[in-house]
Structure 1
Amino acid sequence: MMAAHASSHWTEDLPPLKGRLEANVPLARYSWFRTGGPAELFFEPADQDDLCALLGTLPADVRLTVLGVGSNILIRDGGVDGLVIRMGKAMGQIARDGDCLMVGAGASDFAVAHAARDYGLSGLEFLRGVPGSIGGAVRMNAGAYGVEMADILVDACIMDRFGHIRTVACADLDFSYRHSGLSDRDVVVSARLRGVPGERERIEARMAEISKAREDAQPLRSRTGGSTFKNPPGMKAWELIDRAGCRGMTLGGAQISEKHTNFLINTGTASSGDLEDLGDMVRQCVADQCGVTLDWEIRRIGKRAGGAR
C-alpha cells in the first residue's frame, strides 16, 4: 500500500519542472473508453530531462503508472493512486537515422507509420492498424497483419523509476505474443525502429489496405479500447466469444460489439466497472462453452469504485 496523500510530501522538494504536474486529475479524458477515476498525481513531462528530474525524486513507496494515448487501457472508477505519467506529444518526436526511425514513446503508431511512408521506409505499415503509442507498443509487443514490434525494433531507451537510463536491444526484451520482459517500474522513453527503403506509392497502397481492413472489421467510430482479449494459441478470441453466444451482450452502458466480438464498447453511459464486469462475464461464458480461458489484452489499472484492485 502506497503512502497516503503522495501529493502532500515529496513534491514539495521537487526541482523546477517544465512539464505539467497536478493533483487529482480526472483521467477519463485520457482513455479511449472515456471512463475512469482521477490520478492522485499527474505529470506530463516536457522532455526526457524533465522526466528524469521527477523520477529521480520519486520515493520507492509511491506507485508509478505510465499512460500513452489511452487506447488499450481501462482506468477503473476509483482512480489511480500514486503518480501517473502521461507520455504526450512533447515525448513523441520522430526523426530518421539512416534506414531507421528514432521515435519518442509518446508518438502515436499512426504518426510513425506515416512518417516512415514520407521517408520512403517500408516494413512499418502495420503500425497504421495498431491503436496506441510507441511506448505501449514496445511494452506489449503490439502487432497486426502478421507483423509485430519484435520484427522492427532495434533497441529501446528505458528509464527506471529512479531516473536511470539504459538502452536495451530487442533481443534482450524477452518478447513473446503481446508481452515483453519490461516491468511496471520501467518507462519506455524512445525506440529505434528498422525500416527498408521502398517506394512511397507501394507503402501508401499497403497502408490504405490496412486502413480499409480495419474500417470494415472493427467498430472504429465507437468508444472502445482495441482488442479486449489475447488470441489463445491457434485460435481467435472473437470466434470463441461468438461461439459462446456473447455477440451484442450488454451490461449497463457496456456492450460487446456486434461488428467485432473482441471489442468492448462504451455506448455512452458505461462505467469502467460495467466494462470490466462485462469482459469477465464473457470470459466465463467462453470458459463454460468452449473450455478456453481468455486472457485480457486491455490493461486494467487503478482501483474499482469500492476501493478494491
Structure 2
Amino acid sequence: MSLPDITAELAEAVPELRGRLLANQPLADLTWFRVGGPAQVMFSPADEADLAYFLANLGPDIPVTVIGLGSNLIVRDGGVPGVVIRLGRGFNTINVEEGYRLRVGTAVPDVKLARAAADAGIDGLAFFRGIPGGIGGALRMNAGAHSAETRDTLVEARAVDRAGCVHRLTNADFGFSYRHSQPPADFIFTEALFQGRAGDTAAILGEMDRITQAREASQPIREKTGGSTFKNPAGHKAWQLIDAAGCRGMMVGAAQMSPMHCNFMINTGGATAADIEALGEEVRRRVKAHSGIELEWEIKRIGIPAG
C-alpha cells in the first residue's frame, strides 16, 4: 500500500535542505523482523544542523517518528504516516577523547562503540557488544546487558527537539531507570559522550568474545527477531513468566515465541506485523491470567494497521 505523497510541499518549505526526502519509502527491510508498511516520507538529515533546520520549518500538524537500526521495532502493516526520520552517515562518527572518553554519533551501532573502545584500550564499554541496536535507542531506553547499563557510562548527549532547538543533556538530565529515560519524547538524540577507564585491548576483546558466545548460546540472534520483547517486571524475569504460562513456542500465523528464549519473538517466514503484535498481546493476556502480572512491551511499535 502507499500513503499520499507530500514530499513536494515539504521540500518547498525547506529550500536549503541538504538531506533527502523520499516518499513511501519501504521500512520492512530496515527492521530486524522484516515486516511492515512504508514511511509516508523518509527524511535522512545530512547532520545536526540540517535536522534542526528541517524540524524548525516542519508544520506542527505533521507527525514525526524516529527510527534507528530497527532491532527493537515493529512497523505496523499500514505504514507510518507523516515523516520518519532515520539518522545516517552524518551521525556515524566515533572520536576518542582524552580521559578515556568516546564521543559518538547516535547512528553508531552499539557493537561499533564497544569495538572502538576496545581498540583504544578503553574498558567499561564492552557490555555494548551484547546490545542489538544503535546509540540513539540505547539513550532512549537505557539499554543494558551483562549487569551494566547505558547510564553507567554516559557523560552527556545532544538532542534536537520538534521545534528545531538543540539541547545538551547531562547524565542526570536523563532521569534513567530500568529500560527507560525521561527526556521529552520529541527529543532526537544526535551525539553522546561516554566515559570509560584504562584497559588492555586484548582483555577487552576477550570479554566481548565471551559476551558474543553467551548471546549465541541463549538467544535466537540469527533469526528475524526484535530482541527482548517484554521488560522484566520488578522481582521477576519475563521469560520465566512466559514459560510458566505455556507460551514457549506459541505461534500466531508465522510469528512465534522462540523455543530457544521465550521472551524473543521471531518471524519464522512470511509473518505480518499484525501476526507479531497479536502474538505479543496474546502472551500478555495469558501471563496476566496465569500470574496476575501484566507484562510491559520493550519492543517499540509504530504506524497504523493495514487498512
- Whether TM-score is above 0.5 comes out as yes
* Matched position secondary structure for 2:183: coil
Q: Does 1:11 align with 2:16?
A: no
Q: CA-to-partner distance for each residue in 1:178-210, whole Å, 9 max, x for gaps?
A: 111123211001100111110111111111110
The alpha carbon displacement at 1:287 in A equals 0.6
How many Å separate the matches in 1 of 2:91 and 2:181?
A: 21
* Matched position secondary structure for 1:103: strand
Match of 1:81 in 2: 81
Asked if 2 retains the 8 angstrom alpha-carbon contact of 1:15 and 1:53, the reply is: no
How many Å separate the matches in 2 of 1:23 and 1:183?
A: 27
How many Å separate the matches in 1 of 2:266 and 2:31?
A: 13
How many Å separate the matches in 1 of 2:184 and 2:273?
A: 24
Match of 1:194 in 2: 195
- Please, what TM-score do these two structures have when normalized by structure 2? 0.96
> More displaced, 88-97 or 284-293?
88-97
Match of 1:166 in 2: 167
Match of 1:211 in 2: 212
The alpha carbon displacement at 1:54 in A equals 1.2
Asked if 1 retains the 8 angstrom alpha-carbon contact of 2:229 and 2:298, the reply is: yes
* Matched position secondary structure for 2:81: strand
How many Å separate the matches in 1 of 2:194 and 2:30?
A: 26
Q: CA-to-partner distance for each residue in 1:164-186, whole Å, 9 max, x for gaps?
A: 11110011111111111123211
How many Å separate the matches in 2 of 1:228 and 1:89?
A: 29
Unpaired segments ≥5 residues, structure 2: none
Asked if 2 retains the 8 angstrom alpha-carbon contact of 1:157 and 1:191, the reply is: yes
How many Å separate the matches in 1 of 2:77 and 2:160?
A: 29
The alpha carbon displacement at 1:49 in A equals 2.0
Asked if 2 retains the 8 angstrom alpha-carbon contact of 1:69 and 1:88, the reply is: no
The alpha carbon displacement at 1:29 in A equals 1.1
Q: CA-to-partner distance for each residue in 1:57-105, whole Å, 9 max, x for gaps?
A: 1111111111111111111111111110001233111101111110101
Asked if 1 retains the 8 angstrom alpha-carbon contact of 2:5 and 2:41, the reply is: no
The alpha carbon displacement at 1:6 in A equals 4.5
The alpha carbon displacement at 1:8 in A equals 4.9
> More displaced, 56-65 or 224-233?
56-65
Asked if 1 retains the 8 angstrom alpha-carbon contact of 2:33 and 2:74, the reply is: yes
Q: Does 1:230 align with 2:231?
A: yes
Give the total of aligned pairs. Answer: 303
Match of 1:128 in 2: 129
Match of 2:50 in 1: 50
Match of 1:93 in 2: 93
* Matched position secondary structure for 2:210: helix
The alpha carbon displacement at 1:53 in A equals 1.9
The alpha carbon displacement at 1:17 in A equals 2.7
